[in-house]
Chains A and B, each alone.
Chain A
């Protein structure tokens, strides 16, 4: 499998990272090197193996559906780039 410049730009857009033409070219060269390393995985037949997503085979814990958080809006919004009247401000999305 070989990666194209369009792949890099498509993925960068999915990841919401702006890349210049030059950055995309550099990324293409480096990612191609990394993917040829990753390609070694395909040599192993894993058709009978179950995927492992987690180190311990434990069930996700459940808890009662009750409120555990206290209201700390002011504290949490003190680190936000832009807030007004308790709301996070972003550029207008609806015309």
Chain B
């Protein structure tokens, strides 16, 4: 059962082979036990989860079940959850019991899903290794000396270790796709604006996007059916007709044109990742797809551009944490200004402070045009690069990360090296496109490799189809670390 798909779990619940309370208890027990080693969850609350499970059992009994009713889902601790500690991985919010639900959490509640706990993450989603969390690093379940990736590292670990059937994540520069790749699971970052940002603690608002993390593309489609949708409380939420993201899963791939950006297959990519990704692409050719070389000429500028725009937006968003209305307040201070300065110095960790300083600098008088505006212009060039490439292909493929999971501590003292590990994921956020990572095999030290699939705007159903067809032909997505 631990390796079952959401569809299989749903069928078991519908046939009354198992109750949601039993299913939830089993995953809770496993999560409690494994969390001692992996640190994937910040909060587990059996009582609250089981109350939701019993309510779900009543929904099922009264014939009101939806596809995810009664299924335990882990929530990244960036999503405000009423009555639950919601920390965003920060000391700043280490005492914050959310008084309201995020839009995404509301939608799972309406669907009758069970919140099985709040997952660990890099502080305020700033990090690529989960090492910036105030609650300590998450371990990669394939090798506990390796990072799980970040920032949604707790969610990726929880799904990979089968502590939860599925989880939510958020992706500002790769924070769903990179940990999904490093932990050997599937993760989808939707088109910007598809999933509500209401109650999703803001990092860089023009890039932040919530999305699902699960074992397979089919599971992701079912999750996205719940998560996507208009929310008037999010000013950039898109008003669109609801879609069924499972509708194209079974389509054959005959004639699919896969674009391979020549800038993605360069010396920066490690041999084991390159080999694994190329083998996955060869499998697609067997499935009837054709490959075509495309060019995304400004790829190498995506990291510099991102590390101007994201910190700029972050420095503005995080100014709300002032120790007045919620969150951490320093115990001692001389006056109001000193209270702000000390509360923020003590409440934020090193990486968050670093990014606030970068953001404040690039937005300050005299530097705005040289940095912020220049970065916004390059952002447009990158979006145009993708538009040009999509004239020659239907989807784009490449690695999700230049290497397999690195070791804990390996990059934590060198921010520039850490930032460069996001080189394959960032441009997608800058353009606002949908993209996913799916397990494609194993590289060095038997650590997982992710294949990235990038679609055009609103092509979620298509990239899910492309991923699902691969998962019908291969079994990488069913491999789990350790015994089940």
Contacts and interface: CB of A to CB of B under 8 A. Distances in A.
A79 B357 contact: no
Contacts of B364: 11, 14
Nearest to A39: B304
B415 A49 contact: no
Interface of B: 95-97, 99, 191-193, 206, 232, 235-236, 238, 298, 300-301, 303-305, 307-308, 315, 319, 322-329, 333-342, 344-345, 348, 353-354, 356-358, 360-361, 364, 370-371, 373-381, 383, 414-416, 419, 430-432, 457
Contact of B341 (A18, A39, A63, A76): A18
A58 B432 CA distance: 13
A17 B192 contact: no
A91 B305 contact: no
Given A46-B381, A81-B323, A76 B99 contact: yes
A93 interface: yes
14 contacts: A18-B345, A27-B357, A35-B358, A38-B308, A38-B371, A46-B378, A50-B380, A52-B379, A55-B383, A56-B457, A81-B327, A91-B333, A91-B334, A93-B335
Contacts of A30: 354, 415
B357 A63 contact: no
Given A34-B416, A54-B206, A63-B232, 18 more contacts: A11-B360, A15-B319, A15-B344, A16-B322, A16-B337, A30-B415, A31-B358, A38-B371, A40-B300, A46-B378, A54-B236, A58-B193, A58-B236, A78-B97, A79-B97, A79-B327, A81-B329, A92-B335
Contact of B324 (A13, A60, A63, A90): A90
A40 B333 contact: no
A31 B416 contact: no
A59 B353 CA distance: 33
Contact of A17 (B232, B353, B377): B353
Contacts of B298: 44
Q: How large is the interface on A (under 10, 10 to 19, 20 to 34, 35 or more residues)?
A: 35 or more
Contact of B99 (A7, A37, A78): A78
A44 B378 contact: yes
A16 B347 CA distance: 12
A82 B329 CA distance: 9
A19 B301 CA distance: 31
Interface of A: 3, 7-8, 11-19, 27, 30-31, 33-35, 37-42, 44, 46, 49-56, 58, 60-61, 63, 72, 75-76, 78-82, 88, 90-93
A76 B98 CA distance: 9
Contacts of B193: 55-56, 58
A14 B236 CA distance: 28
B99 A72 contact: yes
A15 B378 contact: no
Given A37-B303, A37-B304, A8 B357 contact: yes
Contacts of A54: 206, 236, 432
A80 B326 contact: yes
Nearest to A88: B324
